[in-house]
Structures are given as C-alpha cells and as structure tokens.
C-alpha cells in the first residue's frame, strides 16, 4: 500500500505569509531604518515583537539586496515574538536588478571579508540601538547564508548565540578555519540545489565535526537553490515549512 504524503503543519507566521500571495501584496508592518557606517549610508528594516521580545534575529539578504522578501521574513519573526532587523550590506538605494550587477556586489564582499563582517556587525549594533534584544541569532538567505557562516567562523560578536544558513554558500574561504565549539548552527539545504553541490555539504560537515561544533544540517529532497523564496519558480512549500520549523527550534534553544 502506498504511504500517504507527509503533510506539514505551517506556523501561523508562515501561513500568513503564504496567504498574502505575491510579494506585491505584502505590506510591511515594521519600519525602514537609515543608519551610518563609517560615513556611508545604509537602510535596514526593523520589525519589533509585541511586548517583551524573546530575543532578536539579524536577517541578511540574498544577492538582490534588502527587499520585501527580507522585510516579510522579519515581520514573520516579529509575529513569533522576536525582534528582527534586516541588515543592508550594499548601501542605501543599491538594489541591483541585473544578474551581473548582483554578482558584482556579492563579489566585492566575498573579496573583502573584513568589510563584510564590519557591515554585518554594524547592522547588529544598529538593531540594538533601535531597541532590539541583546541576545541574537544571525541568519541569512543564499549570499546572506554565506555571510551568516562567515560570522559563525568569526565568533567574536557579543550576544550572538546562534547562526543559520538557508540555501547559502557553504565553502570555507582559504585561510579560514572553524573555531572549536562553534555554534549552534543550522544549515538548510536543497537536495536539488545545482548552485551549491552536495560535496560542499559533506566538506562542511567534516570541518564542523573536526571543530566539535554544535550544528545540524537538513537536506530537503527535490528542493532547488532558493527554495524559500516566495512566488519564485524555485519555491518549495514543504522544504520552506520544514526549514522554518527547524529555525524556530534553533531560536527556542539558543535564545
């Protein structure tokens, strides 16, 4: 007899996001925040929990730059009781549309890891200056997932208690290594991801084991690169629901 398909319960926040339909129908509940980093202007987005927050989450954008996708995820986290700040790593008004321009912006930061970390930490500091809870988890999507792992390897951000990467880059740069006891870390990866091969997943697991890190890697069958991006050809609801539930579990444990 054929086994019936697994039906996953959606969290209230995820169900609301799906019910909202297209990104064009999304109405932000938080506020855009303009801030300065070493004389440069950036524009993040803050969504605050109602009442006392359970902690805070720094959301790092994909290679599109901060847009309504990250705003919507930040609002979802606020619905779950967390302050959420979507950081801007490109600069105010820099939201590339063409593939080559997106690639150029990410490569600038991949080639200047110190700037990548400085801008991420500046976003975290701005979130706290705006009243976000001190205890934090850093998470990101695609390019942002690679940045989250960069911060996990860096390991020197006060109050950061966990990290998560959703369909993010997983390769450890030359000259870097994982600190002993890093984590907790969640890796959410699509089994059908043609951009980030499973060989990188295996190598990362070996590196994390060698560092005695606290980590979890989840691989979702049939899920392509970008499987959490609403209203995209890559979106897979099952993988999105499972990865979101795993992330909420990480938040519960870390914060």
The predicted-structure confidence for 50-92, as pLDDT tens digits, reads as follows 999 999 999 999 999 999 999 999 999 999 999 999 999 999 9
Q: What is the pLDDT of residue 184?
A: 98
For residue 30, report the phi and psi dihedrals to the nearest 5 degrees. Answer: -95, -150
Q: What is the pLDDT of residue 11?
A: 74
Residue-range definition of the domain harbouring residue 168: 29-254
Q: Is 161 within a domain? A: yes
Measure the CA angle with vertex 156, ends 255 and 129; round to 5°. 65
Q: What is the pLDDT of residue 156?
A: 85
Q: Is 9 within a domain? A: no
Beta strands 83-87 and 56-60: pairing type?
A: parallel
Sheet arrangement for strand 31-37: 31-37, 40-47, 83-87, 56-60, 136-141, 160-166, 185-190, 215-220
Cα 25 to chain centroid distance, Å, stands at: 22
pLDDT band at 2 (very low <50, low <70, confident <90, very high): very low
Q: Is 14 within a domain? A: no
Whether pTM > 0.85 for this model: the answer is yes
Domain CATH code at residue 169? 3.40.50.1820
pLDDT band at 18 (very low <50, low <70, confident <90, very high): low
Domain count, the chain: 1
């Amino acid at each position: 007899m054929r086994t019936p398909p697994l039906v996953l319960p959606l969290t209230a926040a995820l169900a609301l996001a799906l019910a909202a339909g297209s990104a064009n129908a999304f109405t932000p509940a938080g506020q855009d925040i303009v801030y300065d980093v070493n004389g440069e202007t950036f524009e993040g987005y803050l969504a605050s929990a109602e009442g006392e927050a359970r902690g805070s989450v720094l959301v790092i954008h994909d290679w599109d730059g901060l847009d309504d996708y990250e705003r919507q995820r930040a609002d979802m986290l606020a619905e779950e009781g967390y302050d959420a700040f979507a950081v801007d790593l490109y600069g105010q008004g820099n939201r590339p549309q063409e593939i080559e321009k997106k690639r150029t912006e990410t490569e600038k930061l991949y080639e200047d890891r110190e700037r990548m970390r400085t801008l991420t930490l500046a976003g975290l500091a701005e979130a706290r200056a705006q009243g976000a809870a001190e205890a934090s988890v850093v998470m990101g999507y695609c390019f942002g997932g690679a940045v989250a792992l960069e911060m996990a390897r860096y390991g020197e951000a006060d109050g950061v208690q966990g990290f998560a990467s959703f369909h993010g880059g997983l390769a450890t740069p030359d000259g870097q290594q994982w600190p002993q006891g890093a984590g907790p870390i969640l890796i959410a990866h699509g089994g059908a991801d043609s951009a980030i091969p499973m060989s990188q997943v295996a190598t990362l697991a070996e590196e994390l084991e060698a560092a005695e890190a606290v980590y979890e890697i989840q691989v979702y069958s049939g899920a392509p690169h970008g499987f959490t991006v609403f209203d995209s050809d890559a979106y897979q609801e099952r993988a999105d629901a499972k990865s979101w539930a795993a992330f909420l579990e990480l938040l519960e444990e870390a914060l």
